[in-house]
Amino acid sequence: MTFESFTEAQSAMLLAIFVIALIMGMAVNKTNFCTMGAVSDWVNMGDKSRFRAWMFAIAVAMIGVTVFEYLGMVNADSAFPPYRGSQLIWAENLLGGFIFGIGMTLASGCGNKALIRIGGGNIKSIFVFLVIAVIAYYMINPLPGSDQTLMSLLFLDWIRPLSISLEAGSQDLGTLVAGSEGAANARLWIGAALAFGLLVYVFKSSEFRGSLDAVLGGLIVGLAILAAWYVTSSIYLNYESDFDGEVSVTMREFLDPETSQWDMAESVHENWTGSGKPDMNANSPQSFTFINPMGQALGYTASRFDRTLLTVGVVAVIGVILGSLLWALLSRSFRIEWFASAKDFFTHIIGAILMGFGGVLAMGCTLGQGITGMSTLAVGSFLALIAIIFGSALTMKIQYYKLVYEDEASFGGALVTSLVDMKLLPGKMRRLEKV
């Protein structure tokens, strides 16, 4: 898709993302696709149907992105966030994912689920959204009256030095295995192998195969991730260059500070209505993630809707909410839900705070790293996904023992017993009996 002005190009991209997000919001509401719920069903009931739906979404997105990238239809190397960065921020991926997993359990769902519940009338999720948005915004942007962000104040100085600089120049499995020259072929085969393994795991369950909602939810979410990658990789601008004549470039290339033609190609952006030059990262190839975009949505609103701050993430947030609302109205499932108690309120707020910190630190959420990042075959995404699942499962185990034993179970006793259940500590260390 090629356009003659920046306004037209960005509008087309944002409209397409909105439609995809709208469809995904409807599908997630309809099928009850929920990553926290998937872990909960597995841990508490031994039911892996929704977990398999999540894995199915990963398989669909992974094979789609690897094939599309091989054909030159997707560019994940220039993605935002930089999933394939040459710095493997493993400690941030693990710590952020772990914190996020705890947070989404306390808040009764991940960032995407909060948006779905807002559309369904859940007032609790509005509070969760606002808290996540504030934390995510100030993790990246300076605090009022300061030049420091929450990231620089709390994490950067001690955790960033732990990162590993990769000589290969990229952390995707294809590059690590075959080097930069053979990366494209290697990604195709590795992506196909991993996706095939996931599909075998998913469809060997007759229960999953018999659940239309589980199959449909995983399929649509996976395709939505792929569609967003394709759209944001396929928008081009035509303009006249003083040196090269007529040139066709991506939006990212057009805005790149090192090669920017923004000031030299006035005809391309003559209808631009923003207050300044758009951000390059916001117009880079990308797909769905929801924690950082919640912060972006806050910034966009606070700026009185400055067009410069209208991003793919902001539009995706709006689209998912409206899609969920549309399905809730069509299915007559819309209902107002409030906090059950003061304890319920504070638990959700604490969960939202942890998701805000963890989602930015890990560079994504259950969709952002768990599906979108995984589709790029980035090592950091694998680490973040494992940490999210572990953090959530451990929290659920502790909650279970605290609920069953009430005052008889200390936090330490519930923690140790949970780790024993997860086979991370020897059985002789068990403090509480199974019920």
Pairing of strands 245-250, 236-241: antiparallel
Residue 429 in any domain: the answer is no
Q: How far apart are the first and last CA of the chain?
A: 59
pLDDT recorded at residue 337: 93
pLDDT recorded at residue 266: 65
Give, in order, the Cα–Cα distances in Å from 208 to each of 43, 56, 215.
Answer: 17, 10, 7
Q: Are 382 and 374 in contact (CB under 8 A)?
A: yes
* Residue 48: φ, ψ to 5°: -105, 15
In sign, the C-alpha dihedral spanning 152, 164, 228, 26 is negative
Pairing of strands 2-3, 164-165: unpaired
Residue 69 in any domain: the answer is yes
Count of domains in the chain?
1
178 alpha-carbon distance from chain centroid: 27
Could you count the other beta carbons within 10 Å of the beta carbon of residue 244? 7
CB-based burial label for 307 (10 Å; 0-12, 13-18, 19+): middle
Residue 40 in any domain: the answer is yes
Q: Are 52 and 205 in contact (CB under 8 A)?
A: yes
Residue 45 in any domain: the answer is yes
Q: For residue range 27-52, list pLDDT tens digits in order.
A: 999 999 999 999 999 998 888 999 99
Q: Which helix (H) or strand (E) holds 224?
A: helix 212-233
Q: For residue range 234-278, list pLDDT tens digits in order.
A: 999 887 766 666 778 888 888 887 766 676 666 677 677 777 788
Could you count the other beta carbons within 10 Å of the beta carbon of residue 313? 25
Which are the contacts of 368, defined by CB distance < 8 A and separation ≥ 6? 81, 288, 289, 290, 291, 292, 359
Q: For residue range 171-201, list pLDDT tens digits in order.
A: 999 999 999 899 999 999 999 999 999 999 9
Note if the bond before 278 is cis, omega within 30 degrees: no
Residue 83 in any domain: the answer is yes
For residue 324, which of 121, 44, 149 has the smallest C-alpha distance? 121
- 410, amino acid identity: S
The whole-angstrom separation of Cα 291 and Cα 137 is 9
Q: 10-residue block means of pLDDT along the chain (435 residues)?
A: 87 96 97 93 90 97 96 93 95 98 95 96 97 98 95 96 94 94 95 97 94 96 98 88 71 77 69 78 94 96 90 97 98 94 96 98 95 97 97 95 86 92 92 82
Residue 428 in any domain: the answer is no
Residue 432 in any domain: the answer is no
The whole-angstrom separation of Cα 107 and Cα 376 is 28
Q: Which domain holds residue 375?
A: 2-421
pLDDT recorded at residue 264: 65
Percent helix / strand / coil, the chain, rounded to 5: 65, 5, 30
Residue 435 in any domain: the answer is no
Which are the contacts of 242, defined by CB distance < 8 A and separation ≥ 6? 264
Name residue, tokens 């393994």: 197
- Predicted TM-score (pTM) of the model is 0.95
pLDDT recorded at residue 125: 96
pLDDT recorded at residue 18: 98
Please compute Rg for the chain using Cα positions. Answer: 22
